[in-house]
Amino acid sequence: MAQDNISENSPPITDWNQVKETVLMLDTVVTQLGWTLRDGDGSVDTLTKSFQSMVESASAILTAASNMEDGPCKEEILKHTQGIYGQMQHAIVAFQFYDKLSQRLNHASLSLEQLAELVGDPVRLNNPDKWHEFQQTIRKRYTTEADKIMFDAVLNGASLEDAIRIFKEHEAESETPDMVFF
């Protein structure tokens, strides 16, 4: 609600409600997250198709090179094709990180949407059991143990900085690098 055009002499706003305003802000954030995810998915789909095509082309080059007589030209083709495969492997690892990011953003978007519903319902808003149910629903969506540990830390009163530190420590201890081989 725009407050810029309200002067000191304006009558009081009688239909203003902080819960309603909170729900509107949450809905706005959810909408923006949704647009961002859809935009990113379109770009990733295009990149995925391009990489699939490059893998097929590199495979065809390797097959053709393997039928060549041994010599410097064959070695050069094989060397560069292996370089292409190495770069594609790095790109696939980046896609895997994007996938994790996308999952987390989807989770955050859904959680914010459900939070807006909870806050917008006066009966559920003041019901501790509904809040606990909501929190458990969020926790169940986490796919990594590090995410669950961070969430639990926040619910147990840790500051956001401490929860992030705990998350990073656990993730560093438990994660192995994602490697994709062709």
Q: Has residue 152 been placed in a domain?
A: no
State how far the Cα of 40 lies from the Cα of 98, in Å rounded to an integer.
9
Segment holding 33, helix H or strand E: helix 18-66
Q: Has residue 69 been placed in a domain?
A: yes
State how far the Cα of 68 lies from the Cα of 52, in Å rounded to an integer.
25
Looking up tokens 């495969």, which residue turns up? 85
Q: Has residue 10 been placed in a domain?
A: no
Q: Has residue 94 been placed in a domain?
A: yes
* Amino acid found at 83: G
Instruction: Note the pLDDT of residue 25.
Output: 84
Q: What is the pTM of this model?
A: 0.66
Q: Has residue 68 been placed in a domain?
A: yes
Running DSSP on this structure, what letter comes out for residue 157? T
Instruction: Note the pLDDT of residue 140.
Output: 93
**Tokens matching residue 1:** 């609600």
Parent domain of 56: 19-141
> Could you give the number of structural domains in the chain?
1
**Please, what are the averages of pLDDT over each run of 10 residues along the chain (182 residues)?**
54 67 83 82 82 87 89 91 87 83 86 90 91 94 88 91 90 60 36
What Å distances lie between residue 65 and 52, 55, 87, CA to CA?
20, 15, 19
Instruction: Note the pLDDT of residue 9.
Output: 62
Q: Has residue 97 been placed in a domain?
A: yes
Q: Has residue 179 been placed in a domain?
A: no
Nearest-CA neighbor of 82 among 59, 110, 101? 59
Nearest-CA neighbor of 97 among 132, 27, 54, 144? 144
Q: Has residue 102 been placed in a domain?
A: yes
